[in-house]
Amino acid sequence: MRHFRIIGVMAILTLLSSVCFADDLQLETITVTAEKRAEDAQKVAAPMNVMTDTFVQDAGMNNMADLGRYVPNVMIDTNWGLNQTWIVSRGMTSNEFLAASPMVMNVDGLPSDSNFGYNFTFEDIERIEVLRGPQGTLYGKNAMSGAINVVTKKPSNIYTGNIGFTVEERDTFRTKFAVSGPIQKDKLYFGLSGGYEQTDGYIEDKTPGGTKHVDQSEKYYYSAKLRATPTQKSDIMLKYTHNDAKGVSTPTVFSDTPTYDIYSGFDKSRYDDTTSKTDTLQLNMDFALDSVNITSVSSYKNVDTDEVILMGYQSGAYIMGQQDFELPTFSQELRFTSSDKSRIKWLGGLYYDKSKMDVNEMSSMYDYIVTTYKYNWKPVTDSTTAAAFAETTLPLFSDKLALTLGGRYERTEREMDYRLIMSAGGTVMSDDSYTVDKDWSAALGKMSLTYSPSSNINFYALVSQGYTPGGFNYTTADKDHASFDETKSMNYEIGMKSKFFDNRVMFNANIFHTDYDDMQVLEVLYSSTIFAVKNAGKAHTTGIEADIAARVAKGLDIFATAGLMEAKYDDFVVDSVNYDGKYMIGAPKFTGTAGVSYRHSTGLVGIFDIRHTGRTYYTKANTSEKSVDAYEIMNAKIGYESQKGYEVYLFVRNLGDKEYFTWMRDGGSGTAFNYMGEPRTVGMEVNYRF
């Protein structure tokens, strides 16, 4: 915590200096669309963090895990797989049986609630908006703890682009490009972006003859956009994206104690490379009529993954897992919003999606010297969701006071064809199957009251609901007990958003309390590699969040975020053991980030930040051996940006070379899967922008 005391002193000095300096150095106003209409971020009645393209570049953000560094009470881990992202937000965690995240990802209006296929390119970003707290009325199922709204750059009449490369330790190399411009001025435009990266990873098997680069990987991705504006009131964009990744395994150690040392004895002959591909085709159409705006977002997305997971060595057996599946999803949203000139703001719409998780193999293998035992689940799950939603904001008595009311009705239908094949030495011992179907529905509401005594100060009180439908455990042979229940939440929040000292200091803070009913919790079964979802009857989170940004002088900014949270189970009994009062799995008590950035007129730029993560438990019993103590990770970057578009940077991640774990997955019988964080990494980045 000593680092945060230093940053705290910096923050106080910054506030004092911002009063003394007379220069007109205001913070920029950022317009966001996180609530599906354009608004000043400081006037949105919900806690949120916004990262502009400049900040994304300065902070050296490359993936979703980097995004999580700057959001309070949110943890994002990309170590679960090449194309998988695990999120913990205000106590809620991703659900692998639903392939669902507690925060909906919304890319250019396309919602995605799966924790697979979250990878997207960062070099074409306009801004990233992170809404904290339940967003069920606008985003529907699985937006239990928030929404991440990614806005990419739209091609326009201006030719623009960039190209660059990055080299890092451990033979890591990245290259990227983006270019856009007009095909026919004022009518038709194009955009292309993409990149490639490879790395040897940072995990080495220390067994003699073991695999040297356990987490080696290579990835490439590209995106193509075609935008048309046939009239001043219409905007149509067709976008195709492709992500392709190949690697060895995730940076995981299977052990009875938290350790960085892996001794597995695995060699290349025991497994094939992991592969994962994501393809998305998206059509956005916007029409601005005199009294209403109409938006249509249509998409088809497919995730194709064949992943081998090296879990470790135990009781004379090499333990491996494999997941080989496709997840095609079609979605359609049709939305109507009030015109920009309307005093009463409103929106309404319809949403539909249909997906199918077609599993070829979801297995656990115990490879003994004599023979190999294998549990191979091959479930096929069909899911269909339909919803109607509406929201309106009404001024009360004056423009300073406004009431927002929102609602959504949503219904999800699911069917699972279960199948389990058990084999020994390649000989099938049993082959069981059944079919089960069920539906879940929810009526969700939202109400907020906003009071703005001045243009720079806004207070709000908010009540909102979240919802995650139930699903099926494909590890359960008993049809009557295959399903688990839906989770619902009720969130209460008060907050303020403000700017002071001639808009040179921004300070936002909020207090929240969320009650969860039938919270879905991942539970280890009779084997260290076999899991199921069970429902904790009741749980709650209560916390405080704050963020500050200040411009000390021209080009010199400081920023900080902090989240203090109590996340506990209130009614959770498993096998006659009571876990009431225990902290939720994966939810740290405190998270905070503080930093300073500098940009000089000569082209010199630099940024330094530190992220603190509080003590975190990874079992419902809160055992100390399966927990991570509080730690800090420091990052720094310095560079030069010429007026001709050339840029060069030197950077270091994890400056203090801290050993830490991004996640610990309970393996039962005193063991755990330890997901290791990145050690100190030094690199150089070179770009050219035009």
Looking at the DSSP bridge assignments, the partners of residue 245 are: 219, 276
pLDDT reported for residue 8? 54
Helix H or strand E encompassing 139: helix 136-139
Two tokens at 684? 């150089």
Confidence tier at 390 by pLDDT (50, 70, 90) = very high
Place of tokens 């406004």: 402
Q: How far apart are the C-alpha atoms of 538 and 569, rounded to whole Å?
A: 6
What are the b/e assignments for 315-330, b being 16+ CB within 10 Å? Answer: eeebbbbbbbbebebe
pLDDT reported for residue 210? 62
Looking at the DSSP bridge assignments, the partners of residue 179 are: 161, 192
pLDDT reported for residue 259? 66
Q: How far apart are the C-alpha atoms of 275 and 255, rounded to whole Å?
A: 26
Two tokens at 613? 């993560």
- pLDDT exceeds 50 at position 13: no
User: By mean pLDDT, which of 155-159, 368-372, 415-419 is the weakest?
Assistant: 368-372
Q: How far apart are the C-alpha atoms of 596 and 606, rounded to whole Å?
A: 8
User: By mean pLDDT, which of 397-401, 503-507, 562-566, 591-595 is the weakest?
Assistant: 397-401
**pLDDT tens readout for residues 52-110:** 999 998 998 888 889 899 999 999 888 777 777 888 999 888 877 777 888 988 889 88
pLDDT reported for residue 9? 46
**pLDDT tens readout for residues 224-247:** 999 999 999 999 999 999 999 888
Which tops the pLDDT comparison, 191 or 473?
191
Place of tokens 């009071």: 451
Which tops the pLDDT comparison, 318 or 222?
222
Length of the chain: 690
Confidence tier at 16 by pLDDT (50, 70, 90) = very low
- pLDDT exceeds 60 at position 159: yes
Single out the residue of 341, 254, 280 nearest to residue 528, CA to CA.
254
Q: Distance of CA 562 to CAs 256, 275, 406, Å?
A: 33, 37, 29
Which tops the pLDDT comparison, 213 or 425?
425
Q: How far apart are the C-alpha atoms of 293 and 346, rounded to whole Å?
A: 10
481 φ/ψ sector (left φ>0, alpha ψ -120 to 50, else beta): alpha
DSSP 504-525: TEEEEEEEEEEEEEEEEEEEE-
pLDDT reported for residue 115? 79
- pLDDT exceeds 90 at position 624: no
Two tokens at 586? 């994966």
Confidence tier at 19 by pLDDT (50, 70, 90) = very low
3-state secondary structure of 207: coil
- pLDDT exceeds 70 at position 261: no
Which tops the pLDDT comparison, 67 or 4?
67
pLDDT reported for residue 10? 45
Average pLDDT of the residues of the chain:
87
Two tokens at 461? 């009180």
pLDDT reported for residue 264? 59
The mean per-residue pLDDT over the stretch 548-553 comes to 92
3-state secondary structure of 570: strand
Other Cβ atoms closer than 10 A to 12: 9
Q: Distance of CA 195 to CAs 121, 150, 352, 567, Å?
A: 8, 18, 32, 39
- pLDDT exceeds 80 at position 326: yes
Q: How far apart are the C-alpha atoms of 516 and 21, rounded to whole Å?
A: 47
Confidence tier at 668 by pLDDT (50, 70, 90) = low
Single out the residue of 314, 207, 311 nearest to residue 249, CA to CA.
311
Q: How far apart are the C-alpha atoms of 287 and 285, rounded to whole Å?
A: 7
Which tops the pLDDT comparison, 363 or 175?
175
658 class by beta-carbon count within 10 Å (0-12 exposed, 13-18 middle, 19+ buried): middle
Residue 37 is which amino acid?
R
Judging by DSSP bridges, how do beta strands 146-152 and 100-107 pair with one another? Answer: parallel
* Nearest-10 Cα torsion for 522, 544, 463, 506: -130
Cα 638–chain centre separation:
27
For residue 392, give its domain range.
Answer: 2-689
Two tokens at 381? 């799950």
SS (H, E, C) 267-311: CHHHCCCEEEEEEEEEEEEEEECCCEEEEEEEEEEEEEEEEEEEE
pLDDT reported for residue 191? 97
Rg (CA), the chain: 25
Kindly report the CATH number assigned to the domain that includes residue 541. 2.40.170.20
Cα 626–chain centre separation:
24
Which tops the pLDDT comparison, 478 or 418?
418
Which tops the pLDDT comparison, 65 or 459?
459
pLDDT reported for residue 21? 45
pLDDT reported for residue 519? 85
- pLDDT exceeds 80 at position 278: yes
pLDDT reported for residue 14? 46
Side-chain-side CA neighbours of 75 within 13 Å: the count stands at: 26
Phi and psi torsions of 82, nearest 5°: -65, -30
pLDDT reported for residue 135? 92
Q: How far apart are the C-alpha atoms of 414 and 459, rounded to whole Å?
A: 41
Two tokens at 193? 């972006």
Q: How far apart are the C-alpha atoms of 459 and 43, rounded to whole Å?
A: 9
Helix H or strand E encompassing 356: strand 345-367
- pLDDT exceeds 70 at position 272: no
Which tops the pLDDT comparison, 524 or 595?
595
Two tokens at 229? 């504006």
392 class by beta-carbon count within 10 Å (0-12 exposed, 13-18 middle, 19+ buried): middle
**Count of the separate structural domains present in the chain:** 1
pLDDT reported for residue 18? 44
**pLDDT tens readout for residues 36-46:** 888 888 989 99
3-state secondary structure of 230: coil
Which tops the pLDDT comparison, 96 or 390?
390
Side-chain-side CA neighbours of 307 within 13 Å: the count stands at: 25
Other Cβ atoms closer than 10 A to 587: 25
pLDDT reported for residue 561? 96
- pLDDT exceeds 80 at position 492: yes
3-state secondary structure of 16: helix
Which tops the pLDDT comparison, 258 or 621?
621
